Structure 1
């Protein structure tokens, strides 16, 4: 739910521009750090862009070229290289003008063309919805970013100027764009350590999406600021005097937390504004790392530290490369104050993050530098892409990974890994390597065995136990929290499902061919190739997967392959097929492509039937299941099946027990079920009246005989009045 528009006295969000920023201003700025020949190339790009956008204007009425010029201005303050600035000026040319990528490569070079293409949306493809189109465009941009980080820097500068001028858009558009900014772009800026852009994106997004909340919080901060200004000035002066006495050179200044950060902390930790202790604080900037720790000792001598509120982000940087010492002190009058202590280089890194790699070339090789940490994250994006089923899945994985409330844990060899809060042993395993995650079977936390779902805490040492036969469990998706782990598990299950679908498709097609007096080995290669061409499939394996997933009926495919008259369109799983007496044997080991209907819970020994479900494979029902009656008119999707002579595995079934309402009754029934070698997966209890209760158990059995033994034994319990098998 979004807020209504604020009252008229609220200032319009975003900084106001007293005068128009011109190309001459940009060139003058660039001359401070770029050679003249490169500045000339930027000017040439401006002339090219101005001509391409000739006649176009923004919703505000200003000529369109002012927008890319403003984007380049933001990047120039980050001292980006000239090709990045050229791409910034031309970033909308491919998307909004007839000029193609090849033309840009010809006029400038392929590097510039690739940068511009990476920022451009996918406008040539038809999508089913705005959400799908948005996800696909963001996926394209993020994958382009993995090849060249400058793509996202251009996009962040582009989004920043759009947010500064968002007031001309309709209310619905403002909310949609602001939501996307808060969900995607501000977190990306944070993940890359660019706080100068992140803070403004958050403030603008917050003010447009929740205008009332922004206004109320802004007034609260202004009121508190007036009350605490004298106190902060006193703390500043006291720290400055102490540093001078100790001969320490440094800058001391007070600061205020940005409004959106305050809002998020209040919301996530369920605190009132008065309970947020780091709204105001003091930042001390010095020359060297060892001086930071000297200053820490001095401020702890001046004011008592709050226990448990010290964080050393210098020794263990944040995931985005941020470094600083944070400590909360009991200030004058007992008011808690946060003190941040950092070097000048850390201050630059906090403002520009990954962009500091271009501004200050030294230090980029440090493993905890923003450039290297950003590169690690980019590699994780590629892993997520490989495991994602579609652009929207990929985007959800990225969103999960963009909000790391960090936990710092150690490998047995002392390497530090930064993970998202509530990460588990499985998340840790995938953070080490995808292969480690895929073969993980157990873990140790501080040398003690721990469940794979155990949440990790900072400072713990974690060891992963792997086995050659280990494989991901679908249940892991219920507790993993990192995008890399989620993508790795889904990617493995996707490939496993494809293998199982191919094996099932081979069995189904072979059974149909045998019924027609043929088999796969006897088929003419020309018939197979002709069918694949007509169906638009790359190879026979893809055809078998399609059959196994229920997308094509094996009977129709078999007839076509042996020379029948069914065309390729009829081979899809919507055409009519005649039933035949051959029954397909269910072994219980088919995996994810054979599922057992939850409505009737078929088990070995039941008379069963199955239906094809596109994308899922085969769904098996009991013959008497009332849901099958709706399929009588759609026999094309029906499959005659039977149980194999010795099915393998345990099968879930539901039983309902009416029992006298006595203390310990549930324990007695559960004990009997366990004695019969069955596992209870779920139980629900409902009190019918004061004297009786109904217990519904989901238990696993090997077949009807096993279930009959359990039910016979339960009937022998004096408290049991009735027992039935449940079919919904």
Structure 2
């Protein structure tokens, strides 16, 4: 473990004016708080915070960030408190440590909805102070370097989380070296055989062809000397995961993969970058479509460099990056360059971006997402997307993710332009709106008065901004219809428990459920974002559970079970009273009741000891047995409302509604209806089949919903 003096020296190497006393006190405090704690490897736990701090010294970060690294686990894992750290060090450091603690507590690999909310919290923490995520990234890097001490299943979980979240985030922040190392460490866990195979191929290639990197480096240096450009040249083979990913994307083997070597030219000036580019292209043939000028069009995180791929020695493709020393500092540190020190002073790098502006730019469009799925969609688009640069007719540059369309371009300019878009010209030629844009193209958007976003546009656009704007417009357009439908759903549900869906009742329910108004609640009901049953249960939890007298309680609806056995209906077939049934025993889960014709029974056909002979109770049953109905109905004014009314008239309750497909002339949807028994089910089906606006209706059984 690095001792305090060695750590201080690492900081002094780039910041001679460092506050040595504060660093020494933080080291001692962290060591004291973590005393008696050990890592999975058996090492003292404090070796971890010290290693995280050492990683951050490589990025030449300020004292507050280094101290935060030393203390980043104290609030979570020791008796230390926010107040103690604030008093002993500063409010700034206490805030940073608290921010890292909150990030650590996020379970980013959980379910989609939970993951979306955690992403939102992660970006909120980043927006408060970006140094929080720098410490967290260094923390994850050290944990991945020492991951072998964890249980195998824990290794896989952490590696997947690293590959999905932390590595792309490091790349988005401009720290490519960290992204590459995180990807490689995760790759080692997730697919070590593939990684070893690529490494063996490299060894064989080097043995057969010699040190190709050294030879090509010498060739490049010779060409630069010829045109009198002073520069440093560095070459290396690409990382195993980068090569493996390219093999998967292109569906080719290692032997057919050409550009597996990368070279970097570091010059003194911007003009020298272009002179170097000319020398490279004069000597070797450039590969079409593989040239990017991020000097004239920098990335949002401040990254500047010229990228080109050429056919080098022996026809091997090599990628060459050309940049100045200042640009290289930003390319290595990314957004973290803002805090970097040189000779005891905050380094003034004209290419380093302001972290506050960068995070605002990254997150501004996330605020428009009105639900978890949209937010997660926006985040992932921003995290994983590469960029293309297109031009307006006036020559302004618009940055878009790869795969973007003219519609994305229109919404990137202004929401009003996007909403009114009826066509587009790319490089002067009229193209369909689903055309994928390429680097350097000029795009001219054609608009028309009265044009509104179409539902099909959601499948055309790829940017979060465009998707959110289209959804907002469609929601606003459909709101009146959804409110009307929601009112009918609410009326039926309230009548079911003997209550009226009055304005006051709906306003009260809306407030209780965190919505702004009764119309918001009805709109969500009408668009199937919530069920009417939830609203009733919010206001009348007791009434919602009351059953009519004389009816068979659902818990006692089945005859043939032993006293200690519990049962539940199988969701794959949704049997109702009056249908022939059979029970299947499941270890630790009681008995599942299946319809006798359920396809899932084939899986246990050879296990007769698990079968239980059952039958429904012959008494009257309450409408408590949900059956899913798949319907295709006309897309016309009031159609869905009439169908919901029709179901209500049959004394059946709609518990959920889900659209499968929306077309200009029809809707395909699944409606969950609570039935009493098989006779009730057939009555509802017959009434719906007789409705002229219903073109087809079937009982929806989903085999994927495991019994």
Same fold (TM over 0.5): yes
Q: Deviations over 1:374-403 (max 9, x none)?
A: 94564343422540522x653343223222
Say if 2:580 is the partner of 1:599: no
Q: Deviations over 1:466-515 (max 9, x none)?
A: 56755544433323223443444455556777775445445666899999
Match of 2:595 in 1: none
CA contact (8 A) 1:70 1:161 kept: yes
Say if 2:365 is the partner of 1:383: yes
**Which of 428, 432, 436 does residue 413 from structure 2 map onto?**
432
RMSD of aligned Cα (Å): 4.7
**CA gap 1:88/1:514 in 2 versus in 1, 3 angstroms:** closer
Say if 2:284 is the partner of 1:252: no
Larger mean Cα displacement after TM superposition, 123-132 or 313-322 = 123-132
**Which of 396, 416, 436 does residue 415 from structure 1 map onto?**
396
By how many angstroms is 1:540 displaced? 4.4
The within-5 A match list for 1:668-687 is: none
Say if 2:159 is the partner of 1:178: yes
CA distance in 2, matches of 1:182, 1:189: 11
TM-score by length of 1: 0.69
**CA gap 1:40/1:635 in 2 versus in 1, 3 angstroms:** farther
Q: Deviations over 1:37-80 (max 9, x none)?
A: 63322333333333332322211122222212211111121121
Match of 1:210 in 2: 191
Match of 1:326 in 2: 307
Larger mean Cα displacement after TM superposition, 631-640 or 296-305 = 631-640
Match of 2:675 in 1: 631
**Which of 462, 469, 486 does residue 481 from structure 1 map onto?**
462
CA distance in 2, matches of 1:33, 1:555: 60
Match of 2:587 in 1: none
Match of 2:619 in 1: none
Match of 2:28 in 1: 47
TM-score by length of 2: 0.71
Larger mean Cα displacement after TM superposition, 183-192 or 548-557 = 548-557
**CA gap 1:190/1:541 in 2 versus in 1, 3 angstroms:** same
The within-5 A match list for 1:104-119 is: 104-119=85-100
CA contact (8 A) 2:18 2:63 kept: no
The within-5 A match list for 1:522-537 is: none
**CA gap 1:440/1:519 in 2 versus in 1, 3 angstroms:** farther
**CA gap 1:575/1:633 in 2 versus in 1, 3 angstroms:** farther
CA contact (8 A) 1:329 1:336 kept: yes
The within-5 A match list for 1:338-487 is: 338-359=319-340, 369=351, 371=353, 375-376=357-358, 378-387=360-369, 389-390=371-372, 394-433=375-414, 436-437=417-418, 440-465=421-446, 471-487=452-468
SS of match in other structure, 1:120: helix
**CA gap 1:125/1:629 in 2 versus in 1, 3 angstroms:** closer
CA contact (8 A) 1:87 1:112 kept: yes
By how many angstroms is 1:229 displaced? 3.7
Match of 1:716 in 2: none
The within-5 A match list for 1:204-283 is: 204-283=185-264
CA distance in 1, matches of 2:480, 2:108: 29
Say if 2:12 is the partner of 1:31: yes
Say if 2:36 is the partner of 1:73: no
Match of 1:311 in 2: 292
SS of match in other structure, 1:139: helix
Match of 1:187 in 2: 168
CA distance in 1, matches of 2:680, 2:87: 56
By how many angstroms is 1:154 displaced? 1.3
Match of 2:602 in 1: none
CA contact (8 A) 2:657 2:670 kept: no
CA distance in 1, matches of 2:670, 2:533: 26
**CA gap 1:629/1:273 in 2 versus in 1, 3 angstroms:** closer
By how many angstroms is 1:295 displaced? 1.9
CA contact (8 A) 1:505 1:546 kept: yes
Q: Deviations over 1:195-216 (max 9, x none)?
A: 2211211111111111100101
**CA gap 1:299/1:448 in 2 versus in 1, 3 angstroms:** closer
Q: Deviations over 1:423-476 (max 9, x none)?
A: 112322333355654555544433444433221112212234556755544433
SS of match in other structure, 2:353: helix
CA contact (8 A) 1:547 1:553 kept: yes
CA contact (8 A) 2:300 2:358 kept: no
**CA gap 1:25/1:497 in 2 versus in 1, 3 angstroms:** farther
SS of match in other structure, 1:481: coil
CA contact (8 A) 2:40 2:149 kept: yes
CA distance in 2, matches of 1:552, 1:571: 16
| Equivalent residues, number | 597
Say if 2:129 is the partner of 1:160: no
SS of match in other structure, 1:59: coil
CA distance in 2, matches of 1:331, 1:536: 63
CA contact (8 A) 1:576 1:635 kept: no
Gaps of 5+ in 2: 550-627, 661-665, 699-707
SS of match in other structure, 1:80: coil
By how many angstroms is 1:168 displaced? 0.5
By how many angstroms is 1:150 displaced? 1.5
**CA gap 1:230/1:325 in 2 versus in 1, 3 angstroms:** same
SS of match in other structure, 2:137: helix
CA contact (8 A) 1:141 1:151 kept: no
By how many angstroms is 1:231 displaced? 4.7
CA distance in 2, matches of 1:603, 1:341: 58
Q: Deviations over 1:8-35 (max 9, x none)?
A: xxxxxxxxxxxx2222211112223446
By how many angstroms is 1:220 displaced? 0.8
**CA gap 1:83/1:280 in 2 versus in 1, 3 angstroms:** same
Gaps of 5+ in 1: 1-19, 561-565, 579-595, 644-652, 654-702, 708-724
CA distance in 1, matches of 2:292, 2:468: 31
Say if 2:541 is the partner of 1:569: yes
Match of 1:589 in 2: none
By how many angstroms is 1:277 displaced? 2.2
CA distance in 2, matches of 1:280, 1:126: 37
